[in-house]
Amino acid sequence: MSEKKITTDSGISINEIYTPADVKQQDASTAGQFPFTRGVQSSMYRGKLWTMRQYAGFSTAEESNKRYHYLLNQGVSGLSVAFDLPTQIGYDSDHSLADGEVGKVGVAIDSLEDMEKLFEGIKLEEVSTSMTINATGFILLAFYVALAKKQGADLTKISGTIQNDILKEYAARGTYIYPPQPSMRIITDIFEWCSKELPKWNTISISGYHIREAGSTAVQEIAFTLSNGKAYVKAAIDKKLDINVFGKRLSFFFNAHNNLFEEVAKFRAARRMWAKIMKDLGATDEKAMMLRFHTQTGGSTLTAQQPMNNISRVTIQTMAAVLGGTQSLHTNGYDEALSLPTEEAAKIALRTQQIVAFESGAADTVDPLAGSYFVETLTNEVEAEAWKIIETIDAMGGSVSAIEEGFIQDEIAKSAYQYQQNIENQTKVIVGVNKFISEEGERIPGFKIDDIIQKMQIDKLHQLKSTRNNEAVKKRLQDISTAIQQNENLMPYVISAVEDYCTLGEISDTLRNIFGEYK
């Protein structure tokens, strides 16, 4: 036996060889059966392939609409919307703080008019739409519902997800507006309203993705994410919502990095842990104990150096997500370390999923790596390490307290620093970055957003404000204020407001005036 010490990216030691004796905990359950280690459906991809999404959104609603039609024609089965930073933090495109950011990292959505343009020619009953939006998630959901109603859609058939995960914003990403307690109130309002009016909608996508992008390890990713999930469930229970109803509409969003076996173990462990957490919190319906998740390949793993290598990285990450049992998947473009993805890069990313689905054989059987002494041991070890972190957070009073005290932020920062140190001292090899370096740079055509977009969006917004019924707008905004003070569910009032073309910024400011902003 060699003495060389090798660890996963989470610091778990890897043996030279694994035997049955290493598998301390045997999980005899099958897929579709508690605790769902092997998958949430009994037949997994033999019954239905994962949803192939491509995350897209840039510039104006009209430009993004063209990309959506292109992706649908290429075979995507679900849309995934990226919003620009002003939309994410509740500013209309004409706000001074939006200057220079309109349409840059996603699509600018100021009003229902923009949402109408975004989905022109697309029947909302026929697509599943995921929206990466948190602080303003309730407003974007209201736009989507208002548009569905204008299309004459049956709301009980509308399916999709809003991310709506504010705790990870405080911990890792930063696009929050309101303090934690009022933010949690908005989230439970969404849970309550959707359970009655939008039963197929996933009301939250509890996100480990951004925690991992900020520098966490795989173990921390699931520990912090599941801990945040517990906080949302407890907040909903405190509001007297039924865990067996809202529990079925919770979904998760994870990252896939390059350490193939640790990633597969992470996904398997996360399912088992969430099933136990929900059971302990009082769920009795097994469907409310299932961890259903979307995966995106790792943006922070992509390199600007030798960018074509990223196609190989994304392929490994796709295999990790599929072997780990994801329900839907977005694959990154090879050029995303340099710019928004070009159409060509987006197509290759989608084709990567299709090749894995139809050519690799990975989808032919349920949980293909089950029974591997290595994978079973690693699943147990990832789970054990994640429970230790969750126990620490529980002792602090849960995720909200741990975030307010800065614990989660500090732990992520330490891991990010250590990872960078490992790259710099070459204990972690990144091909093309710290080893196998080429002197000649590859010329990759980037995708750029023209600055004229901001003026176009502002002109459109001013035109809307001059032609809508501004008396109705004032009344709708006052109704929202009153509903907040009387502790009523906000969703019906926000939907009525957007139907009268109140803007995202106006609604956000109405809440800012009452809740304040989190600093």
Q: Among 66-80, 98-112, 305-319, 432-446, name the one with the lowest average pLDDT.
A: 432-446
d(CA 17, CA 408): 34
SS3 letters for 268-315? HHHHHHHHHHHHHCCCCCHHHHCCCEEEEECHHHCCCCCCCHHHHHHH
Predicted pLDDT at 1: 47
CA torsion through residues 114, 118, 123, 126, sign? negative
What tens digit of pLDDT does each residue of 192-212 get? 999 999 999 999 999 999 999
pLDDT value at residue 446: 74
**55, pLDDT greater than 80:** no
- What's the pLDDT at 177? 98
Percent of all residues in the chain with a pLDDT value above 90, rounded to a whole number: 89
Ramachandran sector of residue 121 (left: φ over 0; alpha: ψ -120 to 50; beta: rest) = left
Q: Which residues of 386-422 are buried (b: 16+ CB within 10 A; e: fewer)?
A: bbebbeebeebebbbebbeeebbeebbeebbeebeee
Token pair 């896939």 in the structure block, residue:
256
User: In this model, does residue 234 exceed pLDDT 90?
Assistant: yes
What is the structure's pLDDT at 503? 98
pLDDT reported for residue 43: 97
Mean pLDDT of 100-106: 92
pLDDT of 441 strictly over 90: no
Contact 59, 82 (CB under 8 A): no
For β-strands 6-7 and 13-14, DSSP reports them as antiparallel
Rg over alpha carbons for the chain, rounded to the nearest Å, is 23
The Cα 100–Cα 454 span in angstroms is 8
Between CA 306 and CA 443 the distance in angstroms is: 9
pLDDT at 2: 52
Nearest one of 380, 98, 330 to 219, comparing CA atoms: 380
Query: 123: pLDDT confidence band, cut at 50, 70 and 90?
Result: very high
Q: Per residue in 29-51, pLDDT tens?
A: 999 999 999 999 999 999 999 99
Beta bridge partners of 56: 81
343 burial level (CB within 10 Å; 0-12, 13-18, 19+): middle
Name 241's Cβ contacts closer than 8 Å, sequence gap at least 6: 188, 191, 192, 195
DSSP 189-247: HHHHHHHHH-TTEE-EEEE-HHHHHTT--HHHHHHHHHHHHHHHHHHHHHTT--HHHHG
Measured CA to CA in angstroms, residue 121 lies from 51, 161, 459, 478 at distances of 21, 20, 24, 34
Residue 39's nearest CA partner among 387, 291, 297 is: 291
Instruction: Write out pLDDT tens, residues 347-388.
Output: 999 999 999 999 999 999 999 999 999 999 999 999 999 999
Closest CA to 499 of 154, 116, 123: 116
Measured CA distances, 324 to 80, 188, 363, 442 (Å): 21, 30, 11, 33
- Closest by CA to 239, choosing from 286, 176, 194, 184, is 184
Tell me the C-alpha distance between 292 and 270, whole Å.
10
Put residue 186 in one of left, alpha, beta given phi > 0 → left and psi -120 to 50 → alpha: alpha
Lowest mean pLDDT among 445-454, 468-477, 495-504: 445-454
In whole numbers, what is the pLDDT of the chain averaged over residues?
95
* Of 139, 143, 173, the residue nearest 158 (C-alpha): 143
519 pLDDT higher than 90: no
Q: Is 92 left (phi over 0), alpha (psi -120 to 50) or beta?
A: beta
**CB within 8 Å of 27: residues ≥ 6 apart:** 35, 37, 38, 272, 376
Element (H, E) at 138: helix 137-150
Question: Is it the case that residue 491 has pLDDT exceeding 60?
Answer: yes
Supply the pLDDT for residue 57.
76
Token match 């579709």: residue?
A: 32
Helices (H), 301-406: 309-323, 343-359, 373-395, 399-404
Give the CA count within 13 Å in the CB-facing half-sphere of 464: 23
Q: Token pair 């995106």 is at which residue?
A: 296
φ, ψ for residue 214, nearest 5 deg: -75, -10
**pTM tops 0.85, yes or no:** yes
Lowest mean pLDDT among 49-58, 273-282, 471-480: 49-58
Given a cut of 60, whether residue 152 has pLDDT beyond it is: yes
Mean pLDDT value of segment 205-232:
97
What count of Cα atoms within 13 Å lies in the side-chain half-sphere of residue 55? 25
Q: Give the confidence band of 28 by pLDDT, cuts at 50, 70, 90.
A: confident
